[in-house]
Structure 1
Amino acid sequence: MENLELGTVKLRWLNGGVTHLDGGAMFGVVPKALWTRKYEVNDKNQIELRTDPILIQAEGKNFLVESGIGNGKLNEKQKRNFGVLEESSLDAGLESLGLTASDIDYVFMTHMHFDHACGLTKEVNGELEPVFENAKIITSKIEWDEMRNPNIRSKSTYWKENWQGIEQQVEAFDEEWSFGPLKLVHTGGHSEGHSILIIEDGDSTVVHMADIMPTHAHQNPLWVMAYDDYPMDSIFAKQKWFEYGISRNAWFTFYHDSVYRAVKFDEAGKKTETIERKK
């Protein structure tokens, strides 16, 4: 379990499962000869993408960034198509810290695609129930509205199984939502309702760009996914917040990266500090 400790804020990465998705889709129009220099690819042209929530402890509260892919939410065909080789062991990770899912106070959903939201609900006696029964679930209003009313494109990733049963817990915001040193900011891009997380703790800064920079290899503002609904918005938001992070010597953190949990870059874009994922 990898840690990042700031002044008063602690981050820990938990195991939320793994997917393997098509590398070409993950890097969009970027030629394979370029992106394969930066991120490993298998013989099926798939890249490994973790779905590992970040536990943040701050202000006496337990925050969770995303929810992982859960357990038992995917059928065998879906597991095969999405390259799911392991499901979530979130409960075990929390238990090792003396916590349970009931101890989570807030769940931050940067967006609610299946690989981020499957861990929000579970089936009990044929009914969907919340996994984090005492938590407020924070996401943008645009995201929450589309989650429940997806369009012809987004219905493949916004599943009713991931929102039915948690409606009463959701607190949706317009442009920003904050609690102490933590702030969610709506960006759009990957989805219309996509948000990022900023942490300002004294002299320390964390920028979690979620799926507008899903891995360290997506650092270039122009390297956006074919999965992005609004790629120009992704480019502008990534450029803005990358420059912001660089100006503050920020840690850039990741939910999907199979290599790094967090990276610091210099002004030339070279890595200066890293926290590697333990395999």
Structure 2
Amino acid sequence: METLELQNIKLTWLRGGVTHLDGGAMFGVVPKPLWSKKYPCNDKNQIELRSDPILIQADGKSILVESGLGNGKLDEKQKRNFGALEESNVIQDLAEHGLSPEDIDYILMTHLHFDHACGLTKPADGGFVSVFPNAKIIASAIEWEEMRNPNIRSRNTYWKENWDAIQNQVEVFEGEWTLGPIKMVHTGGHSDGHSILVIEDGNEMIVHMADIMPTHAHQNVLWVLAYDDYPMDSISAKQKWMEYGLKNNAWFTFYHDSFYRAVKWDETGKSFTGKVERERK
């Protein structure tokens, strides 16, 4: 498991599962000859995307960013359509750190699409129960509302089995939410309620832009997903937070990237000055 350690904070990437989605959809209107130079695809035009939660250990708290694909949540048709060749190993990975699901204090949900939220619940007794029963689950108020009342477009990704069993654990925020050095900021864009994370520890900074920059190859502010509900909001938010992160020599971290867990770019954004590569077996 890859880690990134700051002065008082440790990040560890857990194995939350993998999907393979259409590269054209993941890069929107960007022509394939451009995006495929930065992120390879298979012969079906699919790109490999991790769904790997980040364990944050700070101030005696154990915090997850997202929850992974979970286990037993996708039927065979969904596995085929989403290219889900691997389900979650989050519980096993937590155990290697001496943690159980009951030890998780917070789960920070940048948004609640299925590939981020399936790991919140698990099948049990003909229904679903919470995987992390003691955790406070944090999401923007807008995202939580859409999760429970999806529209005709979003109902394919906001599933009742991912929220019904955990609704008493959810705490929502408007605008911003903070916990010590961690700040969640509502941006919209990918979904109306989408949020990012900004972490400051001494003179170090992390910017986690979730699905408005799901991989290192999406660094260009105009390279946004066809899945984005509000692409102009994605562009605006990415432009703002890229500029902020580059100015402050920030680490940019990823949930979906199959090649890098975190990178630092130089101030021009053209070259890496630091990187945490994913171990590929």
- Find the aligned partners of 2:47 and 2:261 in 1 and give their Cα distance: 16
Give the structure-1-normalised TM-score: 0.99
Structure 1 match to 2:279: 278
Answer whether contact 2:249 2:267 (CA < 8 A) is retained: no
Once the two structures are TM-superposed, the CA of residue 252 in structure 1 deviates from its matched residue by 0.1
1:13 equivalent in structure 2:
13
Q: CA-to-partner distance for each residue in 1:60-80, whole Å, 9 max, x for gaps?
A: 100000000000000000000
User: What does residue range 251-270 of structure 1 map to in structure 2 within 5 Å?
Assistant: 251-269=251-269, 270=271
What SS does the aligned partner of 2:164 have? coil
Give the alignment of 1:51-70 within 5 angstroms. 51-70=51-70
d(CA) in 1 for partners of 2:65, 2:84: 20
Question: Pairwise CA RMSD of aligned residues?
Answer: 0.5
What are the superposed Cα offsets for residues 234-266 of structure 1, whole Å, 9 maximum, x if unpaired?
000000001100111000000000000000011
Q: Offset at 1:59?
A: 1.2
TM-score (norm 2): 0.99
The yes-or-no answer on 1:214 pairing with 2:224 is no
Q: Deviations over 1:29-79 (max 9, x none)?
A: 000000000001000000000000000001110000000000000000000
Counterpart in the other structure of 2:190: 190
Unaligned runs of 5+ in 1: none
After TM superposition, give the deviation of residue 168 of structure 1 in Å.
0.4
1:89 matched to which residue of 2? 89
Q: CA deviation at 1:231?
A: 0.2
Task: Provide the C-alpha distance between the structure 1 equivalents of 2:139 and 2:173, rounded to a whole number of angstroms.
Answer: 6
Deviation of 1:124 (Å) = 1.2
> How many Å separate the matches in 2 of 1:265 and 1:182?
21
1:136 maps to 2:140: no
Tell me by how many angstroms 1:268 deviates. Answer: 2.0
Write the distance in 1 (CA, Å) between the matches of 2:126 and 2:201.
Answer: 43
How far off its partner does 1:22 sit? 0.1
Deviations along 1:137-187, whole A, 9 cap, x unmatched? 000000000000000000010000100110100000010000100000000
Once residues 204 and 148 of structure 1 are traced to their aligned partners in structure 2, the CA distance between those partners, rounded to angstroms, is: 37
Letter in 1 for 2:272: K
Deviation beyond 2 Å, 4+ runs, structure 1: none
What is the distance in 1 between the residues matched to 2:205 and 2:56?
A: 14
Which residue identity is paired with 2:68? G
- Identify the residue that residue 162 of structure 1 maps to in structure 2: 162
1:105: which partner in 2?
Answer: 105
1:166 is paired with a residue whose SS is: helix
Alignment partner, residue 36 of structure 2: 36
CA distance in 2: counterparts of 1:95 and 1:116, whole angstroms: 21
Deviation at 1:188, TM superposition (A): 0.2
Shift of 1:127: 2.5
CA shift for structure 1 position 267: 2.0
Q: Is the 8 A contact 2:183 2:199 kept in 1?
A: yes
Match of residue 232 from structure 2 = 232
- Partners of 1:271 and 1:233 in 2: CA distance: 26
* SS of 1:206 mapped into structure 2: strand
1:126 CA drift (Å): 1.3
Question: Separation in 2 of the partners of 1:122 and 1:164?
Answer: 11
Does the residue aligned with 1:36 lie in a helix, a strand or coil? helix
Work out whether residues 52 and 68 of structure 2, in 8 Å CA contact, stay in contact via their aligned partners in 1. Answer: yes
Quote the sequence identity (%). 72
- d(CA) in 2 for partners of 1:218, 1:230: 16
Give the letter for the 1:9 counterpart: I
Rounded to whole Å, the distance in 2 between the matches of 1:55 and 1:155 is 28
- Structure-2 separation of matches of 1:73 and 1:104: 21
Alpha-carbon displacement from aligned partner over 1:192-224 (angstroms, at most 9, x marks no partner): 000000000010000000000000000000000
